Amino acid sequence: MPDVDIDFADRTILLDKLKHRIAKLDTDKKHNTGVYFTEVPHDPATNMATIDYETAEDRNYFKIDCLNVSIYKDIKDDNHLQDLMKRQPMWELLEAKDFSDKVFHLNGHSEILRKLKPKSIEQLAAVLAIIRPSKRYLLNETWEKIMQEVWIKPSDDKYFFKKSHATSYAVAVVVHMNLICEQLKNEK
């Protein structure tokens, strides 16, 4: 089944309006983002599925991950979002820990950013993939080798970022970078 993630500024607005069931991890804990909008075996007292999400997937239940992405709260409208997506960010800012630690998905990875120095959405997507353990071995490679190998599925089935997933997050990172710069400019 496909992995479907939907980003929201505040997912509770949606979840308060739609009947849903909370997905469960194999540790019997609540899945942080996964929900079912169809019936799935569940505990009526907690509204949580009684089977873990992998078992549910094997039984053809369809989980959707509803993600809170707080950067969207500062976007004024569709035109503003389009402008933030199209605007080239100041890529050099990613080399400054004070800046990169403020950016969605990049917090804590300033050393990797300083080493790889991404200068495009494609390179930033690759960096997001290299942050994950299954592709960390590419950290000391050239951009040519990185781009040849970063999107190859690991043979050991370790978690890795697919190109489409990493690219969509790279675009969100660019939006966030541009928002931060816009906010700093407005503070002056």
In this prediction, residue 1 carries a pLDDT of: 63
Q: How far is CA 96 from CA 4, 41, 110, 125, 144, in A?
A: 33, 48, 7, 18, 24
Q: Maximum Cα–Cα distance for the chain, whole Å?
A: 56
| pLDDT tens digits, 117-147 | 999 999 999 999 999 889 999 999 999 999 9
In this prediction, residue 97 carries a pLDDT of: 96
User: To the nearest whole number, what is the mean pLDDT of the chain?
Assistant: 93
Secondary structure of the chain in HEC code, one letter for each residue: CCCEEEEECCHHHHHCCCCCEEEECCCCCEEEEEEECCCCCEECCCCEEEEEHHHHHHCCCCEEEEEECHHHHHCCCHHHHHHHHHCCCCHHHHHCHHHHCCCCCCCCCHHHHHHHCCCCHHHHHHHHHHCCHHHHHHHHCCHHHHHHHCCCCCCCCCCCCCHHHHHHHHHHHHHHHHHHHHHHHHHC
Task: Look at residue 37 and tell me whether its pLDDT is greater than 80.
Answer: yes
Sequence spans of domains, the chain: 4-68, 70-187
| pLDDT tens digits, 82-127 | 999 999 999 999 999 999 999 988 999 999 999 999 999 999 999 9
Angle at 115 between CA 182 and CA 181, to 5 degrees: 5
In this prediction, residue 169 carries a pLDDT of: 92
| pLDDT tens digits, 164-188 | 989 999 999 999 999 999 988 888 7
